[in-house]
Structures are given as C-alpha cells and as structure tokens.
Amino acid sequence: MSEPLVLGIESSCDETGVGIVRGTTVLAHAVASSVDEHVRFGGVVPEVASRAHLEAMVPTLEQAYAQAGVDVSEVDAIAVTCGPGLTGALLVGVAAAKALALAHDKPLYGVNHLAAHVAVDQLEHGRFGERVVALLVSGGHTELLLVDDIATDITLLGSTIDDAAGEAFDKVARLLGLPYPGGPQIDRAAREGDPTAVDFPRGLTTGRDVERYRWDFSFSGLKSAVARHVQHEQRMGREVSVPDIAASFQDSVCDVLSKKAIAACVAHDVPRLVLGGGVAANQRLRHFILERAEAAGVEVRIPPPSLCTDNGAMVAALGAELVARGVAPSSLDLPVDSGM
Ligand code: KG4
Ligand code: ZN
C-alpha cells in the first residue's frame, strides 16, 4: 500500500479534534474547543465537555474533509482515541468513529491518547526509528514514558501522584486572580517576576521520595504552599507580587519536570526526548529542558504548539503507523477505557 490515508478522531477531554494524514503528512487538522464553556467553573466539567463534543463532532468532521479535499469514503482507516480520558467525552468520539467505520466499511483503530501525543512528533520529524523518552504535560495528565516502540511497547515510568502539571498552573492562576486556563497567564506574568523571590518546595525530590518516587511528580503540596504564602503576605498587610509568585511557582514545576525527564533519558540510555501536552508551550520549561538536554547530550523534539495540545492529527498519525505496519484493526465492539 502507498502511504495510508487515515482519519483520526480525538474527544478525550475538552477538544473535539479531527485530523486526516497521509503517512506522516497532515492534510487536515480541525479542532473545536469547549474551553470557554469551562471558564466559569475553573476547570473541565465532564458533562459540559460531552455535550460540546456532540455538538461539534459533525461540523469538525466536515471542516476536516474540506481542508483535506477528501472525505471518509476515501480513507484507508479510521482511528479514534479510546482512552485514557473522560468516559462520556471518549464515548462521543468512539461512537462517531464506529458509525463512520460501519457505514463506509472501513477498518477501525482504537488508540491510546498518550501514545498519540508521542506519535504526533512523526508528523514534524518523520517516523521514529529509535527509542525515545516522552514527557507529556497537560491539564489532564503528567506522564513520563519510555517508548521502545510507538505501536507496541510503551512503558509508563512515572506520573503525577496528585494534580496534573497543567492543573497546578490552572489552580495557582486562580489563586492569583488570573483567568482560566491559567498556564499561559502564569507564563506571561512570570516574565516580569523574580523566580528566586519565594523558595517554593520541589515535590518528590528530597529524602526518601527520591528513591520511592524516582519518576513521579507531585504538585498539590506546591499549590498549598503558594496559597499559604499568599495568605501570609495578606495577613502581614504586604502587597502580593503576582509576577514574583508566578515566576517562583513556575520555576518549581519546570525544574522538577525537566530534571526528571532528562534523568530518565540518561538512566535508560535514550538520547531523545519528545515533549507533548499543552504545558509543553511553557517558555521556562523549554528553557530548562533545552539547557539540561544539551549538557546531557540529549536531543529534544517539541512538536509545534498546535500539535502539542489535544487534536485529531495525532490520533491519525498513530493510526497511520498501525496501518503501515499491518496491525489488525479493533473490533466494532471497541470499549472506552478512561484510565488505561
Ligand atoms: O493539552 P491541553 O491543551 O489539554 C489537556 O489538558 O488535555 O493542555 C491544557 C493545559 C492547561 O492546564 C493550560 O493551563 C496548560 O496546558 N498550558 C500551559 C501553557 N499553555 C497551556 N501551562 C503552562 N504554560 C503555558 N504556556
Ligand atoms: Zn492530551
């Protein structure tokens, strides 16, 4: 077969994404986000997300067909995220993919959302011929993965034991009176601040935690430390410097993420790191990672921001890889698995 033409559908959180790729070339990349509907709640509300996917699915599919100049009748396969994610949200994408597969007699591939975040790098830098470590950091997940084979062999080295990295950014932003989503706001505010102004804790990096939680992360203690600091300053009648707190908080998160990610590359003798998820857009994280990677001789691959956040092209990219390798498709009974 020439390079497979694959439609990918993503609906695990608050983005409805439809992508169409031919091999590693993106033909369509359409995303509808319900982020605005979650603003007043300060975080993603599952029921609101599911309803938004229902409303956005058909228009987003049509947008993708128009961008690519092809429709579902012409594709070789349909790939869809079947987990991890919000159950109700995943169900919308999986139901749409099954309906299209059945109606047009196309093979269906259920793919793992995290693997798709890694596979998307192939659209930018070509197919993986080698092992990589991946750091995925978004509002919903924080994982460190060892990828021996993008289709068959991914090991979860570690993850957050409480809040996701993006969630920590969002919660601290809220504490500081900045709007949701807070990550870009903190990134911006921190540029005017002093990252050494407040010495916030670096989760799971001291004492016995170093051994026990070698590749894991924790951000809820940091969030509480920021809250305590703000309250203390207010009690003392001092003005709270949002830029200083933002910069100090951000340094704590990015220091730990980058240290552990590069240490994982070194420990597993893997000279490549792929970044994914919305937090990969953070300037300070990129700075720390690039600096430490250079010192350790590790090559860093960061897909462009529009491919780092949730989208359908990443699902199509992984689907195309599976088709190219002759992997058997999923059954039309494909279940969703919110926690896999
Ligand atoms: O991947 P994404 O778009 O959606 C999922 O959560 O799955 O990631 C969104 C998250 C939010 O928590 C947002 O605050 C965070 O990524 N984010 C950032 C930045 N841009 C987005 N966090 C830190 N710095 C940024 N520049
Ligand atoms: Zn994601």
Give binding residues for substrate as ranges.
Answer: 136-140, 170, 183, 187, 282
Strand partners, 272: 299
How do the residues of the chain divide into helix, strand and coil, expressed in percent and rounded to 5? 50, 20, 30
| Whether the domain at 5-120+311-324 and the domain at 132-302 fall into the same CATH topology | yes
State if residue 183 touches ligand 1 by the CB under 6 angstroms criterion.
Answer: yes
Residues annotated within a binding site for Fe cation: 113, 117, 310
Helices 283-296 and 182-190, axial angle in degrees (round to 10): 70
Which of 1.10.10.10, 3.40.50.2000, 2.60.40.420, 3.30.420.40 would CATH assign to domain 5-120+311-324? Answer: 3.30.420.40
Q: What is the pLDDT of residue 1?
A: 63
Query: What's the pLDDT score for residue 67?
Result: 98
- 143 touches ligand 1 (CB under 6 Å): no
State the Cα–Cα distance between residues 9 and 315, nearest whole angstrom: 6
Q: What is 132-302's CATH topology?
A: Nucleotidyltransferase; domain 5 (3.30.420)
**Counting ligands in written order, which one lies closest to the CA of residue 13?**
1
Which DSSP string corresponds to 188-229? HHHTTS-TTSS----TT-STTHHHHTTT-B--HHHHHHHHHH
- Domain parsing of the chain, residue ranges: 5-120+311-324, 132-302
Helix (H, G, I), strand (E, B) or coil at 283: helix
For the stretch 244-282, pLDDT in tens is 999 999 999 999 999 999 999 999 999 999 999 999 999
pLDDT at 151: 87
How far is the centre of ligand 2, averaged over its atoms, from the C-alpha of 38 (Å)?
17
Q: Select from 275, 279, 282, 310 the residue to mutate for testing ligand 1; criterion: most ligand atoms less than 8 Å from CB.
A: 279
The whole-number pLDDT of residue 209 equals 87
Cα distance between residue 83 and residue 141, in whole Å = 12
Q: pLDDT 10s per residue in the chain (340 long)?
A: 689 999 999 999 999 999 999 999 999 999 999 888 887 887 789 999 999 999 999 999 999 999 999 999 999 999 999 999 999 999 999 999 999 999 999 999 999 999 999 999 999 988 877 899 999 999 888 999 999 999 889 999 999 999 999 999 999 999 999 988 899 999 999 999 999 999 999 999 988 888 899 999 999 999 999 999 999 999 999 999 999 999 999 999 999 999 999 999 999 999 999 999 999 999 999 999 999 999 999 999 999 988 999 999 999 999 999 999 999 999 999 999 998 6
